[in-house]
Amino acid sequence: MIKMSINDLIDFIRAGKWEINLESECYCQFDWRIEDSRLIETTQSDECWIGNVLYINDEAVAQEIQGEAQEQLIELCDYDDTVYPDDWDLFDILQDLNPEILDELRLSNEAINEEHRERQYKALVKWLSESGYDLYINPERGFSNEYTCILAAKDTEVDANLEPVTAKEWAGRYLNIGDAATTAYVGFALIA
């Protein structure tokens, strides 16, 4: 663990030499299949995370990873030369110096790991492209956020109101989670 003196920490904070970056990684593997007329996704999670990382003077000093407590990544030293007691950790000192830093370090519950979503999407596109199914969207009531994604056995006759789509469009629509203003109502149907 890297050491940083409290006086250096104070100087860097006062000089504005800090930043918080949203960072993520994902090495998940996705397996898609049809089981009992349902589309099933199995995920083998590996090194998948999203979090805010606090850098002070270009050094990672703390992080908050989704689902975990804030974590100190450095060892503070030289308490004797400061007004801070030696039982204060980095977060206590940051709270005293600049509480805004801790507010910004907090990760929103709505944070989405885009790397994870991209890997999930690419795996579904690949599976759809190799699946042999014809791909359709049923727009149902005509709302852009309300539809059913349909897999049909190759060359099966389907209703005229179904829209044929590419694997990329089908996967994007199926994985749609909506946004802050709109909820996605996505259904699935298999026509065998």
Q: What is the pLDDT of residues 97-151, one digit of tens each?
A: 999 999 999 998 888 999 999 999 999 999 999 999 999 999 988 888 899 999 9
Tokens of 77: 């030293």
Residues 100 and 167 in one domain: no
Residues 78 and 42 in one domain: yes
Angstrom distances, CA of residue 20 to CA of 58, 98, 100, 137, 140: 10, 13, 11, 41, 44
- Residue 183's domain comprises 132-191
Q: How many domains does the chain have?
A: 2
Query: Contact 94/12 with Cβ under 8 angstroms?
Result: no
Angstrom distances, CA of residue 19 to CA of 76, 164, 192: 19, 47, 54
Query: Contact 9/80 with Cβ under 8 angstroms?
Result: no
CB atoms within 10 A of CB 56: 22
Please tell me the least confidently modeled range out of 14-18, 133-137, 174-178. Answer: 174-178
Q: For residue 123, is it within any domain? A: no
Residues 80 and 169 in one domain: no
pTM reported for the whole predicted model: 0.82
Residue range 15-34: average pLDDT? 96
Residues 53 and 147 in one domain: no
Three-class DSSP category at 163:
strand
Residue among 174, 56, 155 nearest 105 (CA):
56
What whole-number distance in Å separates Cα of residue 152 and Cα of residue 155? Answer: 8
Residues 6 and 99 in one domain: yes
Backbone angles phi, psi at 168, to 5 degrees: -65, -45
CB atoms within 10 A of CB 127: 19
Residues 86 and 161 in one domain: no
Residues 136 and 85 in one domain: no
Q: What is the dihedral of CA 107, 113, 142, 170, to 10 degrees?
A: -170
Query: Contact 190/34 with Cβ under 8 angstroms?
Result: yes
Residues 145 and 95 in one domain: no
Mean pLDDT of the chain: 94
